[in-house]
Amino acid sequence: MIGMTTHFVFGGAGFTGRYLVESLAAEGADVVICDIASPDFSLPAGVRLVALDVTRAKDFETLAATGNDVVYNLAARQFHNAVPTRNQDAWFDEVNVAGTANILAWMATHGLARLIALSTDMVYGFPERLPVGPDHPRHPLGPYGRSKAKSEDLCVQARQQGMQVTILRPRMIVGPGRLGVLVKLFKLIERSLPVPLIGNGRNHYQMISVHDVVSAIRCAERKGFPNTTLNLGSDRPPQVRDLLGNTIRQAGSHSVLVSTPAKPLKFVLATLERLGKPLLHREQFSIADLNYLVDIEPTKRELDWKPAYSDSDMLVEAFRLYQSQKSRD
């Protein structure tokens, strides 16, 4: 497959895209990054860049492909982007839904049948049972999750038309190149300030390393792009209190964890979000005090995959990366 196949990575200039592109290129693959943004990393040998806006169907007209080529859809608007305070559903839908529709239409035009689409666990909403399996009902809590659910629906329709589409739903992706909301936490830890918890911190909160996301994508590719939907997350995540406590110790910080009543704190966070000054978005803070574990056993079985990184390792590594970036600034 590697020698005769072109691998089109939509959103390949982004965080996860970078590591997927590097993994493919390391095996000598012919890789095309399709992205509106310019990569902030050096392109590996064998990688080409096509400036393309997935929201513009016209941009696809000169993008040539053959039926043996494969596609990865990592293009998305997410919370690390500057989210507007109004019309958020339309803003997320523009890329996450219309962009997906344009990619699928382009694939159909050129006879491409194999796709791996990166979705999110935020399509689930509040967990009705644990662990949250891929068959769990989808009741997204906000515009991002709703847009991803609609994108998934388009992928399911494509399956019905003969395409092979693997949908992967990762938890929060952590790794070198993206700190996101963790920066706010790390600022408290480095200054030995109190770290507030939403609730008592006795709940389990799961993440996923970007390296494990890429390994799952590659496993799905090797398995022939199975028509399935699967979760991605870490194995046996600790309680939030233990996770943060370990990070504080490893950082040599004197921060203390402070339990807070979840309901009034969520009210404050919701108010800040409405005012356009979010510390966290609704889809993030609404479940922050809940046990929220996605079931990755089907992923292990179907893809012969398992995560290599623990939540504790991910968070400590992210803190050290944060410190090294500060020292370079």
SS3 content of the chain, % helix, strand, coil (to 5): 40, 20, 40
* pLDDT over 50 at 174, yes or no: yes
CATH 3.40.50.720 fits 6-176+207-234, yes or no: yes
Task: Please state whether the peptide bond connecting residue 238 to the residue before it is cis, i.e. omega within 30 degrees of 0.
Answer: no
Q: Which residue has the tokens 């390994």?
A: 215
Structure confidence at residue 1 as a pLDDT band (50, 70, 90):
very low
Mean pLDDT to the nearest integer, 252-267:
95
pLDDT at position 281: 86
Of 41, 50, 91, 93, whose CA–CA distance to 71 is shortest? 50
Rounded to whole angstroms, the Cα distance separating 221 from 125 reads: 28
The CA–CA distances, whole Å, from 62 to 68, 105, 106 equal: 18, 14, 10
**What is the separation of C-alpha 66 from the centre of its chain, rounded to a whole number of angstroms?**
28
* pLDDT over 60 at 94, yes or no: yes
Work out the widest C-alpha separation in the chain, in whole angstroms: 59
Rounded to whole angstroms, the Cα distance separating 32 from 41 reads: 15
Backbone angles phi, psi at 168, to 5 degrees: -115, 130
80-84, 167-171, 176-180: least confidently modelled range: 80-84
28-32, 298-302, 324-328: least confidently modelled range: 324-328
pLDDT tens per residue across span 50-73 = 999 999 999 999 999 998 999 999
3 state DSSP class of 211:
helix
Mean pLDDT to the nearest integer, 238-246:
96
Mean pLDDT to the nearest integer, 188-208:
95
Hey, which residues does 207 pair with through a beta bridge?
172
Give 31 or 81, the one with higher predicted confidence. 31
Contacts of 90 (CB under 8 A, 6+ apart): none
* pLDDT over 60 at 3, yes or no: no
Residue 247: how many other CB atoms lie within 10 Å: 24
Domain coordinates in residue numbering, the chain: 6-176+207-234
pLDDT at position 76: 95
What's the pTM value of the predicted model, to 2 decimals? 0.94
Instruction: Answer whether 43's CB lies under 8 Å from 17's CB.
Output: no
DSSP tag of 215? H
Rounded to whole angstroms, the Cα distance separating 30 from 149 reads: 31
Rounded to whole angstroms, the Cα distance separating 148 from 146 reads: 5
Q: What angle do CA 196, 318, 119 make, to 5 degrees?
A: 90
> For the chain, what is the mean pLDDT?
94
